[in-house]
Amino acid sequence: MQDRTIAITGAASGIGRATALLCAERGARLALIDLDEAGLKNVAEEAERTGVRTGTYVCDVRDEDAVADVFARTREDVGVPQGLFASAGVELGGFAHELSAERWQKVLDINLNGSFFVSKHMLQGLLDAGLPGSIVLCSSPASFVSFAAGANSAYAASKGAVSALTRTLAIDYARHGVRVNAVVPGPTETPLMWMAVPEGERPELKKVIETEVPLGRMSHPDEPARAVLWLLSDDSSYVTGSHLVCDGGVLAKASISV
């Protein structure tokens, strides 16, 4: 990744932050995108200790005009991105019969529309420059199975759509040398993991989750980030339209005990 520019949304925390730091260790220039200005500053300062150039951009990925502006500035500041990790996401929870249209729409706007907008403007930059590239979207086990706790219809619908978007973009842009894949993280110690869980319930729920994951623990953000890194790199040069599952065995496990 030496001297290659990588754009990352949701870069201020969680898997996005971990991916940014791994990319920096490998010499990539970074375009760090998030709504959390203080978090962006923090990760940029840490990344710059490796000697790489970074640009930080406060942006709401639901706003296509803002996304277009960020990618235009990125091309000026740190070069045309040849890698993108669309990590920005939200999980608000709620059973369908209680879920307001506003809550439903917010989840889809961030998780799906945001992934589409950043992919669209990433692709435009690559096509204009005649460059190959790699896009990694962030899917979820919820794309394939329903979570046992329930109340995540909006999140599951958004991530299922992200999986479909991954496949269609992969086919549409393969002839341009652009690969599009998705990472599928399992339960990971990130702010998103606990977004819909009251703080007082988190320690006990973590114990339950650890008994349900075949590997017996939640993952550290670095673990799915390493999967993202592989998909962004030339090591995965013949991989496109795929899902790289990094979930501790969750999707491989049947829900019954006999």
218 with 141: CB under 8 angstroms? no
Would residue 238 show up in a list of annotated catalytic residues for this protein?
no
63 Cβ contact list (under 8 Å, min separation 6): 117
3 with 10: CB under 8 angstroms? no
Q: How far apart are CA 136 and CA 180, in angstroms?
A: 6
- Using the Cα atoms of residue 2, residue 182, residue 70 and residue 46 in order, give the sign of their dihedral: negative
Q: How far apart are CA 138 and CA 181, in angstroms?
A: 9
For every residue of 98-118, which 3-state class applies, written as one string? HCCHHHHHHHHHHHHHHHHHH
Q: How far apart are CA 187 and CA 115, in angstroms?
A: 21
Catalytic residue, chosen from 57, 155, 173, 238, is: 155
Give the number of other Cβ atoms within 10 Å of residue 25's Cβ. 14
Q: How far apart are CA 140 and CA 144, in angstroms?
A: 8
Q: How far apart are CA 40 and CA 142, in angstroms?
A: 28
Per-residue DSSP letters for 154-175? HHHHHHHHHHHHHHHHHHHHGG
Give me the active site residues, please. Answer: 155
